[in-house]
Amino acid sequence: MNKKAIYNALGKILILLAFTMLVPLLVAFYYGEPLKPFTVSILITFLAGLLLTRIKSSAEWQQKEALAIVALTWLSAAIFGGIPFLFEGVSFIDAVFETMSGFTSTGSTIFVDIESYSRSLLFWRSFTQWLGGMGIIVLFIAILPKLGVAGRQLFRAEAPGPTEDKLKPRIKDTAKILWALYVLISAVEVVALMLAGMSLYDALTHTFAGMACGGYSPYGLGIEAFNSPLIEFILTFFMFAAGANFALYYRAIFIDSNFLLKDEEFRAYTFILLGFSGLLTLVLYKDMDFSLFNSFRYAIFQITSIMTATGFASTDFNLWTDSAKVLVFAVMFIGGCAGSTGGGMKVVRFLLMLKYARRELFKFVHPRLIRPIRFNNKAVPDDVLQSILSFVVIYILVFIFSAMFLTLLGVDMISSATASIATLGNIGPGFNVVGPMANFSALPPLGKIILINNMWVGRLEVYTVLVLFTSDFWHS
């Protein structure tokens, strides 16, 4: 294990993080708010990064170093990114919870009276989601020259999904393309929301959260504060777009305009989302006495928000009937597409698990026949299938154990279960005491620490974090 290489890389990333804090510093200056929270945070983060970069290493990175760098980057970002919160009376654990939730684009919050905090802090809170949505490491690779093979190792360790999706032979060029698409679509969303009636500040903060599939809002009521069907439909469209594989957009624009429709995962993603939205529309219309328009409006917004792990709420679905809640709870486990900013287990894994189950049933009838599993007309290697199955098992185990520990800490079962999956899937709100119009502040400190780890594990898709806790990992 080349620890010097890990320290050096972390130092460079902390320096990058310090520069990103200049944006909320400008917001604080514009609104005449105290500059100290961000100037001190920038100084501490920059100096810490500078000290770490003085630890030099000439050895090349291997897979172990890449995994450690990626996992520790997200933990460091949550710790140093939480410094501005300390200046507004937030405790250390709550500050790390809020920024881990931000960078992992989870959207779970401990803020009780959101509007009481400074506009610059709320801006930074949403901005952390935008930075984390496409990936801190992907941004690092895009702007840092001469990473070479090391950059590829980092990209593989952070990339969401069971397989790496390269657009160009050089991983640096792939990272640049992904971030360019991300910025471009974000800019379009800002304009669309402003045309729908939002201020520039509101459009930026909600775009940061929406494009990252994060869900933070500077208002306690969230999207319900605007009471605008137009704004909800615009956000629904961009949440749907953010939940799809960004690599597909590049291929659809520059290679084949029908690429989206040809992709199995995108078709399944669209079908599942529309199917659950249709079912929820009928349930709300029948059981909640909403008009047909409002039933559809709430259903498609909430299903899109929860399935993509955005976590925006246009209404308090904690008050819905159990049949409606079941549909919302079900999509928490699915998530968006691989290569998206969405959370959850990812649609591609569900597709491949279903195909694997179908093949096993086929083998019972025809035990001697060989039937490869195909995805997008390509055979899926058995090692990928095994990796997916082990991922799902570990994912479910983390969900069960974290929910169990929360229950042992005195949290009710429904709140424990939904808080566990909402943080592990990087979704945001759950039910009961962690519902969309509530927050996670009522949880005990140890419960918050468990959920911080859930967000960390969920964003880096289990293996990258959990491998740090094995003794073999740190042995040379």
In-domain check, residue 437: yes
In-domain check, residue 392: yes
**What is the total count of domains within the chain?**
1
Confidence band (pLDDT; 50, 70, 90) for 169? low
* Average pLDDT over every residue of 19-37: 96
Q: How far apart are CA 332 and CA 434, in angstroms?
A: 14
Q: Give me the pLDDT at residue 426, please.
A: 87
**pLDDT over 80 at 135, yes or no:** no
Q: How far apart are CA 333 and CA 343, in angstroms?
A: 9
In-domain check, residue 441: yes
In-domain check, residue 411: yes
In-domain check, residue 297: no
For 229-272, the pLDDT digits (tens) are: 999 999 999 999 999 988 888 888 888 778 788 889 999 999 99
Full domain range(s) for residue 437: 383-474
In-domain check, residue 217: no
* Average pLDDT over every residue of 373-389: 85
Rounded to two decimals, the pTM is 0.90
Among 115-119, 141-145, 249-253, 411-415, the range scoring the smallest mean pLDDT is 141-145
In-domain check, residue 407: yes
For 401-421, the pLDDT digits (tens) are: 999 999 999 999 999 999 999
In-domain check, residue 396: yes
